[in-house]
Amino acid sequence: STGQSDARGALIVLEGLDRSGKTSQSARLLSHLNSLGYPVESWRFPDRDTAVGKMISSYLTNQSQLDDHTIHLLFSANRWEKRSLMEAKLKSGTSLIVDRYSYSGVAFSSAKGLDIEWCKAPEVGLLAPDLVMYLNIPPEKAAERGGYGGERYEQLEFQKNVGKYYEMLSDPSWKIIDACLPLEDVEKQMTEIVLDCVVSCQKGKPLTHLWL
Ligand code: Z5A
């Protein structure tokens, strides 16, 4: 078995519709793992701080128009530009809690009508998550949470369609979390699952690549 110095961090991904609570739960998981002494960071995609991320942000806020294929590849490029840092963090023992990842990329673009296999292709070779937690909420219920803002995609019919593609992408390893419950109860469903994952990665579970 590997010694403590070889212990790697876990790649933990949160997925779900808009307003399902990913941002809130990322923050909670971050402080929970921190309080237990685990090195951990919280990341999110899109990462709007990079050059590519700025193009994505301008598209999402309707300040620019882009062809559906083009924006899809930009979302993917935004993950690729963080890939080597992601690998370095994990190998140095830091766990990452990531708010949206390749599954968002494929679900949102497929919901617009792009071919699902075409959508998956640019994601091949990115690091595969050790754990995907899907925050499950009916789109109608998510829409009630403070209402939608003005960003592109924040529309009920579109969110329903995205949900269907998430369903197609999900596999039995995904942990489906009931995201309709109060914040504390949603968190409770996740903490044990996350800790199990962190421990199994420390024990040497190998890092793998998309698409699985
Ligand atoms: N997108 C894409 O097309 N391709 C890609 O590759 C990627 C993304 C990565 C921007 O993402 C858009 O980009 C997104 C997908 C697309 N479009 N949509 N829709 P983003 O991550 O920047 O934006 P978002 O997903 O819309 O995040 P969000 O609005 O911040 O939602 P959230 O993080 O899931 O929820 P939250 O901020 O934690 O909570 C929302 C509200 O609900 C807030 O007022 C909370 O206090 C409340 N809340 C949360 N949990 C609860 C519970 N349990 N009970 C009651 N109220 C709650």
Query: Per the domain annotation, does 163 fall within a domain?
Result: yes
ipTM for the assembly: 0.97
Alpha-carbon distance of 208 to 181, in angstroms, equals 33
Q: How far is CA 74 from the centre of its chain?
A: 16
Write down the pLDDT at residue 146.
72
Atom number, ligand 1, closest to the C-alpha of residue 108: 3
Residue 114 maps to a domain: yes
| Positive/negative CA dihedral, 212, 103, 174, 126 | positive
In tens, the pLDDT along 170-190 reads: 999 999 999 999 999 999 999
Residue 124, both tokens:
């091949």
- Candidates 146, 74, 62, 148; CA nearest to 109 is 74
Residue 35 structural domain: 4-202
pLDDT by residue (tens digit) across 98-147? 999 999 999 999 999 999 999 999 999 999 999 999 999 999 999 999 76
Interval 12-22 mean pLDDT: 98
Per-residue pLDDT at 147: 66
Q: Ligand 1 site: residues with CB under 6 angstroms?
A: 16, 18-24, 44-46, 60, 75, 99-100, 104-105, 108, 145-146, 153-154, 182-183, 186
List the CATH number of the domain containing 161: 3.40.50.300
Main-chain phi, psi angles of 99, to 5 degrees: -85, 105
Q: Which atom of ligand 1 is found nearest the CA of 75?
A: 6
- Mean pLDDT rounded to a whole number for the chain: 96
The number of the ligand 1 atom at minimal distance from the alpha carbon of 105 is 6
- Predicted pLDDT of residue 1: 42
Task: Tell me: pLDDT of 149 over 90.
Answer: no
Q: Look at ligand 1, atom 48, and give the residue with the nearest C-alpha.
A: 21
Residue 44 belongs to some domain of the structure: yes
2 pLDDT above the threshold of 60? no
Long-range contacts of 51-54 (CB under 8 A, 24+ apart): 52/77, 52/78, 52/81, 53/78
- Quick check: is 209 in a domain? no
**How far is ligand 1, taken at its centre, from the CA of residue 4, in Å?**
36
Q: Record the tokens describing residue 78, joined without a space.
A: 């935004």
- What atom in ligand 1 is closest to the CA of residue 145? 42
Nearest residue CA, atom 45 of ligand 1? 21
Which pLDDT score, from 0 to 100, does residue 5 have?
62
Share of the chain above pLDDT 90, in %: 93
CA of 2 relative to ligand 1 center, distance in Å: 38
What is the domain count for the chain? 1
Predicted pLDDT at 212: 81
pLDDT surpasses 60 at 208: yes
Instruction: Please give the average per-residue pLDDT across 70-76, as a whole number.
Output: 99
* pLDDT the model gives residue 3: 44
Distance between CA atoms of residues 91 and 68, nearest Å: 35
Query: What pLDDT is attached to residue 127?
Result: 98
Residue 20 CA to ligand 1 centre (angstroms)? 6
Kind and range of the H or E run holding 99: strand 95-99
Q: Is residue 208 one of the residues assigned to a domain?
A: no
Q: Model confidence over 28-51: pLDDT tens digits? A: 999 999 999 999 999 999 999 999
